[in-house]
Amino acid sequence: MITEIEIEGFKSLEKVHLKLGKLNLFVGANASGKSNFLEALRVLQGIGYGFKINEVLNGKPKSATSEVWEGIRGGSRYATFSARSKPGLEAEREIKLSTVLKVGDSQHQYSVSIFKNGIRSEALDREERTVPSTLAFSFLGQIPQSPLFQVHEKVKRALSNMQKIDFDMATLRAYSQDSVAQRIGERGENFAALISKILMEERLKKAYLSWLSQLTPMELEDVTVLPGALGEPLFALKEGDNVLPAPILSDGTLRFAAITAAFFQMDMPDIIKIEEIENGIHPSRLRLLVELLKSQSGGTGPQVFATTHSPVVLAWLEESDYKTTFFCRRDEETGASIIKPLSEIPRLVELVKNQSLGELFTEGWMEAAF
Amino acid sequence: MSFDVLVVPEDPANNGYILKPLISRMLAECGKANARVTVLSNPRTKGYEHAKALLRNQLFLRYRHMKLILFLPDADGKNREGEFQALEDEANRQGVRLLCCAAKEEVEVWLLAGYRDKLEQRWQDVRSDTSVKENVFQPFLAAYGNPKAPGGGRDLLMAKMLSSYGALLQLCPELAELERRIREILS
């Protein structure tokens, strides 16, 4: 879990420092910096995989050891922050990403500096203090037997174990290639295969079906998979005697079913990222989505980063969630994104006693509040 | 034509998982097996007084088309009869059929009634505990719920407990009285 992050010079994030929780929501207008924040996490994930910086930023084709890696939007050309008032002046600026991570019981600090032609990373074990200074790492960190090398590898493993949820409806509606899967793909690959795995455990199956039953007004009797010619599975729901295969289910039902399944993965990623969580889901059911994210990211669940434009999602947050619900806006002069937790917006907590947080967001109150 | 019922809880966040299956079953017992039960979630009620004010100021007008509105808050150790009567009279004047019923002492007790054999406390003590949610229900849910399910497994527990619906009415007489009043309206 990333407990703290500092981003400097990346896209619209000139300098952002955030303390994070298990569920982190990013709200704000279009182009306010929400997606750029998630892309910064993607950069860390790519570095965690051990890709070269050019590959991380611009993409990488499928290889014998890795799947296709999509670069960040705009690639390396638009990766660095450039102030509106001084366009081009900072094109050579370095990008710095610093994180504090909790891996198991230990805490580590991990920093990456990205230059035009490469990266330099530093890892520190915060508790064991095995590193006297960051300078030591550049030498000791190269030796596989050294504790420093192991810390470095541990941190990189944790960062790479990140999953972006960007489901494609056609993929969710298709047969899975595998008959059983421990994890769903970022585009929804192996959705039905993961469901096959969930259905094998009665307790998980009941819980999964229960989420779906809350979503739909129909009398949902069961969740199942239909076998194809070669036994490959297709997701389906049962309503009475009717079997409803994935191709005829609504986008919203299917998307919710897949997002829910992501929290039932046997091979659970450390971090799940979801953009615009409300997409395709009826406003009256967004309460359920908020509950899903809050309950399943708690305890031993994955850390979640999600963006939203929905005032309804905000209306279902509690005051205790405000510390890790971040409002994003752009500074008019520099174009830099300013990201602040709701708990630090003056007067907000007082105002929401009498007015819905969603209304304040819709009115644009937060834009001018800090 | 569907029989639409609106249930107004004190807080829909978790109470809905208990109230929706319970009221659906109660209506089925009263001959309305296909009733459509909606637990109010927007606007979101935040406690007894807020829910009461919402009923008066917004919901009677907005939900006049409902066949029945049920207000099901916690009793919290208070006698709410006078307030309920005033609220029902006001609804009646506005052409709304409202029935109020307070759970003694909190809504979670209606679920616990099906699991008395799993509780350490005597049933009389459970019924009279005004902090039953913290003292009894939460430890019970931690032991017998399902953290992967919505509401920590409340809906799954409720579905199972409704197989002993008859016993529930005996253990919670306020529910027996609510069922009697619904039957009266439907007759």
Which of B42, B146, B152 is opposite residue A284, by nearest beta carbon?
B42
Spatial distance between the Cα atoms of B40 and A320, rounded to a whole number of angstroms: 23
Q: Is A207 close to B155, i.e. CB distance below 8 A?
A: no
pLDDT on residue B69: 98
C-alpha A50 chain-centroid distance = 20
**Percent of chain A residues topping a pLDDT of 90:** 61
Which of A204, A210, A284 is opposite residue B150, by nearest beta carbon?
A210
Per-residue pLDDT tens digits for A288-334 = 999 999 999 988 899 999 999 999 999 899 999 999 999 999 998 89
Cβ(A361)–Cβ(A313) under 8 Å? no
Q: Is B150 close to A206, i.e. CB distance below 8 A?
A: no
Q: Does B148 contact A at CB distance below 8 Å?
A: yes
pLDDT on residue A103: 85
Q: Give which of A206, A212, A263 to mutate to test B binding, by max B Cβ within 10 Å.
A: A206
Closest alpha carbon to A78 in A6, A164, A13 = A13
Q: Does A203 contact B at CB distance below 8 Å?
A: yes
What is the phi/psi pair of residue A5, to 5°? -145, 140
Q: Could you tell me the two tokens for A43? A: 């950069």
Band the pLDDT of A146: cuts 50, 70, 90. low
pLDDT in tens, chain B (187 residues): 689 999 999 988 899 999 999 999 999 999 999 999 999 988 889 899 999 999 999 999 999 999 999 999 999 999 999 999 999 999 999 999 999 999 999 999 999 999 999 999 999 999 999 999 999 999 999 999 999 999 999 999 999 999 999 999 999 999 999 999 999 999 8
pLDDT on residue B152: 95
pLDDT on residue A135: 36
Q: Is B148 close to A213, i.e. CB distance below 8 A?
A: no
- Model-level pTM? 0.89
Q: Is B152 close to A206, i.e. CB distance below 8 A?
A: no
Three-state DSSP class for residue B44: coil
Q: Does A300 contact B at CB distance below 8 Å?
A: no
Domain ranges of chain B: 4-181
Domain ranges of chain A: 2-161+269-368, 169-262
CATH tag, A2-161+269-368: 3.40.50.300
Q: Give which of A22, A209, A211, A214 to mutate to test B binding, by max B Cβ within 10 Å.
A: A214
Nearest CA distance, B164 vs chain A (angstrom):
20
Per-residue pLDDT tens digits for A21-72 = 999 999 998 999 999 999 999 999 999 998 888 899 999 998 887 788 998 9
pLDDT on residue A147: 67
Per-residue pLDDT tens digits for A236-262 = 999 988 999 999 999 999 999 999 999
Q: What is the mean pLDDT of residues A217-230?
A: 89
Predicted ipTM? 0.88
Cβ(A237)–Cβ(A212) under 8 Å? yes
Q: Is B151 close to A291, i.e. CB distance below 8 A?
A: yes
Nearest CA distance, B141 vs chain A (angstrom):
14
Q: Does A213 contact B at CB distance below 8 Å?
A: yes
